[in-house]
A = this chain, B = another copy of it.
Amino acid sequence: MASDIEAPASFDSLRHNVQARYDGLSPHLQRLARLALEDPNSFALETVTSLAQTAEVQPSTLIRFAKEFGYSGFSDMQKIFKLRLIEGAPAYREQIHQHRTRLEAAAERDPMAILQEFTDASILCLERLKDTVDPAALARAIEMIAAADTIYVIGQRRAFPIAAYIAYGLARLEHRTQLLDFVGGMVPQQAATLRPTDLLIAVAFAEYTPAVVETVRDVHIRNIPTLTITDVPTSPLAQHGTVYFCVDDADIHRFRPIAGSISLAQSLIIGLGYYKDARKEDRGHGLKA
């Protein structure tokens, strides 16, 4: 063991350590050092034996390598490599939990504290949205909307405001849009009139309003394109979405922030606006190369 008061706790500091002491290492340890910095993924996922094979050293050398940098053994060092892979991801749910407890603590008397905590939580949702949305799905969703003849939008309870906003936005962009709002109780009949050239946009979160789920399923089974916004990949709306988005906003005191979903909806609308503008321009200037 080189010195006693070390053991880097982050991948970055470990890398610095390895780089600084590289010249003073024995040949085999140098080989491992190179491997560790060039292919850290393998160090996170593979076993001592298989790493030893690829590096053409004995397993015990890997343990000596780990101890050389202050860890108690290989497993101890491997934690750092595993951490590097998930970087930042686990923070979200913990942070939300913090917000929730803080909100519950300070809330009873001061509404302003509620506002504070709630907007903070909403901001977190928005930050996360940027990371979790699949760019390909976003592009495809916009194309689907642009290609559709008539767009039907459905959403109930907490999801209704989002559905309403989508309908509003589409109408502003002069799309044929129909918000299925259950007034008059004719939704099943309305859904039955959808054609394969139309599009159904559905929004629902747990517990998924049965009427919405059924509508989506019926329409999707009839091979009519569906675009769904829901919370988790296992939701029935994800299963029956031709394209789907998951915006999982952890709930805060029985109410979930919907800022994430709303912003996604708004981004879809704005993206659609640009998409249509671009196509209009192309048509105006003739065919493009």
Contact = CB atoms under 8 A, between A and B. Distances in A.
Contacts of A114: 267, 270-271, 274
A77 interface: no
A10 to B, nearest CB: 15
A160 B169 contact: no
Contact of A259 (B142, B169, B259, B271): B259
A19 B233 contact: yes
A285 to B, nearest CB: 14
Given A259-B263, A266-B257, A133 B161 contact: no
Interface stretch (A1-9, A29-37, A189-197): A29-37
Interface residues of A, number: 82
Q: How many copies does the complex hold?
A: 2
A151 interface: no
Interface in A224-278: 232-234, 236, 238-239, 248, 252-255, 257-259, 262-264, 266-271, 273-275, 277-278
B257 A263 contact: yes
Interface stretch (A57-65, A66-74, A124-132): A124-132
Interface string A1-45: 000000000000001001110110000001001100110010011
